[in-house]
Structure 1
Amino acid sequence: MNVSIASFFNVIKALENEIKAIEKNIKGINTTEYQSLTSIQGIGPVLASGILAEIGTMTSFRSHDALAKYAGLTWRVNQSGNYSSDNTRMTKTGNKYLRYYLIEAASSVKNRNVEYKEYYYKKYGEVTTHQHKRTLALTSRKLVRLIFSLLTKNQIYSNDKVGEIQ
């Protein structure tokens, strides 16, 4: 029994050392962009590094709409003549990993940021079907606008104001 417990403690120590090594490598990413993303409450090191890894350089995108389209967070137009349907599907033709990170980040941010929580519940009341999924996608679009703005201007986020990185 003592050998088993000692073995478990050794495994736990080895895993803790691996976690420290991974966190050290994650923080080695572009530090100003990393700081910009982690300044948003709800976006931690894993989500920030995942988003940065999938975006690459912000110079590839001319607007937040282009970034959202790259992530596949756009909706198809369903119309014919004067008729335009309110029931449209998300395209999902972009980078599925970036879309995953952005939706997870939006979910986390809405739980910690009052502005995003209010926006989420406002949109939740407006949507009639698949409320959570659609509202989370809309919240992700709002987060894309914030991320694009922060990364292009090299700024950090605070609830009161957006400021320059020191």
Structure 2
Amino acid sequence: MEASYYVGIDIGKHRLDWHVNDAQNTALTTGQAANTPKGIQKMVARWKRRKICLDELIVCFEHTGPYGLLLATLLEQSGVCYVMVSAAQVQLSLGIRRGKSDPIDARRLAEYLWRFRDRLSPSRLPSKALLELRGWLLWREKLVKMRTALTNGIKANTLTSQVADLGEINNQMQAQHDQLTILLKQVDRTINGLLRRYNTTEGQYDLLVSIPGIGPIIAGWLLVYTEGFTRFANGRQLACFAGSAPFPKQSGQHKSPDRVSRWRCQRLKSLLGNGVHSAIQYDPELRGYYKRKCAEGKHPQSVRNAVICKLLYRVFAVIDRGTPYVKIHQHEAIK
């Protein structure tokens, strides 16, 4: 990704701080802009006035969720190449640092972009359908947490009611619990409708849920995190992202057992952990693998990580092949 100008932008809720370097990593100009459509348009216009050609420009900013969504959208509309990077990835690459401010962060992002320009790839926003699906999945997650909190509160109050009268509190909590249950059913219907609508053009949802252990919610998050299976090239990369792929740990003559990395997507790891229980229960092949490895002395969590990897390899197999998962053990039993 060679360019004539490298721009780092530090994103805040209401303000953008930007810093422009040239091809030799020399500072050219800095500035601030409001994180609004008008403010971003003024920022791009100011670049043009500085004789900075947008076709020779690359912008780098951290992945900040909704705060950077407007910036990415307007940059795409302006035809500007941009790269969204992980905040942890940038911080770990900078070495020892002293001092911090928004303008300094913008300068460091520009320097990071210039230094790793041969490794970075342009970013693209996911489709509007996936952004909508992500919003509903996040809302469902919040509803589940609220209902779980009420369930635990009701159980605790039931025990306390042995020595104090908390019946009215429990009645109110139960009413809220029932309302959340009704709302969750409505949200689930909306999510299923979005998945079906997305499936009409991509055909990926039916392929995913054909795999034992992959349900509608896991399939939805897989579509969101892989951006319609355009973000990762194979199952190993997705397993690394989910935190289930083991890595070696060796120094000199000392060699430790392979371990999974702590850098992972915790939400996806938890969801896939739930899917493993279902897969072991309903898939004879995975159930036999799990029992065999545990009998050999492997730690159950290590075996579950291996089963997650197998599920993700199956996911990429059905997506690449374009046909549903085939339960081989059933065909072997018929023979």
TM-score computed with the length of structure 2 as normaliser: 0.40
Query: Is the 8 Å Cα contact of residues 73 and 141 (structure 1) preserved in structure 2?
Result: yes
Please point out which of 230, 251, 255 is paired with 1:80: 251
Q: For the structure 1 residues 42 and 67, does the alpha-carbon distance in structure 2 shift closer, same or farther, using more than 3 Å as the test? A: closer
Structure 1 CA distance for aligned equivalents of residues 244 and 264 of structure 2: 8
Give the distance between the partners of 2:278 and 2:246, measured in 1 at CA. 23
Are 1:150 and 2:315 an aligned pair? no
- Over the matched positions of the two proteins, sequence identity in percent amounts to 23
Is 1:25 the counterpart of 2:205 in the alignment?
no
- Once the two structures are TM-superposed, the CA of residue 55 in structure 1 deviates from its matched residue by 2.6
Q: CA deviation at 1:106?
A: 1.7
> Partners of 2:247 and 2:267 in 1: how far apart?
20
Instruction: Select the residue among 139, 160, 164 that pairs with 2:307.
Output: 139
CA deviation vs aligned residue, 1:42-100 (integer Å, no higher than 9, x gap): 33222222332333221221221111111122223222345533x23210312111122
SS, match of residue 246 in structure 2:
coil
Letter in 1 for 2:213: G
Is the aligned partner of 1:39 residue 2:204? no
Q: Distance in 1 between matches of 2:268 and 2:188?
A: 20
Q: 1:60 to 1:14 in 2, by over 3 A?
A: closer
One of 262, 269, 275 as aligned partner of 1:99: 269
Higher strand proportion (structure 1 or 2)? 2
Native 8 Å contact 1:54 1:97 kept in 2: no
The one-letter code matched in structure 1 to 2:221 is G
In 1: Cα distance, 2:212 partner to 2:261 partner: 28
| Aligned residue identity for 1:125 | A
Q: Which has the higher contact order (CA 8 A, sep 6+)?
A: 1
- Distance in 2 of aligned mates of 1:156 and 1:62: 19
Superposition pairs of residues 109-124 of structure 1, within 5 angstroms:
109-124=279-294
Task: Tell me which protein shows more helix as a share of its residues.
Answer: 1
User: Compared with structure 1, are the counterparts of its residues 79 and 13 closer, same or farther at alpha carbon in structure 2 (3 Å cutoff)?
Assistant: closer
In structure 1, what is the equivalent of residue 221 of structure 2? 50
Mapped partners of 2:285, 2:208: distance in 1: 17
User: Is residue 2:230 matched to residue 1:65?
Assistant: no
Tell me the SS of whatever aligns to 2:324: strand
Q: Does 1:108 align with 2:251?
A: no
Deviation at 1:12, TM superposition (A): 4.7
Cα distance in 2 for partners of 1:92, 1:108 equals 24
Which ranges of structure 2 fall in alignment gaps of 5 or more residues? 1-170, 330-335
Relative to structure 2, which stretch is displaced further, 143-152 or 73-82?
A: 73-82
Q: How does 1:5-16 map to 2 (within 5 A)?
A: 12=178, 15-16=181-182
CA RMSD of aligned residues (A): 2.7
TM-score w.r.t. the length of structure 1 is 0.75
Which runs of structure 1 show a deviation greater than 6 angstroms over 4 or more consecutive aligned residues?
Answer: none
Q: Which amino acid aligns with 1:80?
A: S
Rg: which structure is higher?
Answer: 2
Deviations 1:98-139 (A, max 9, x none): 1222222122111101011011112212344xx221111111
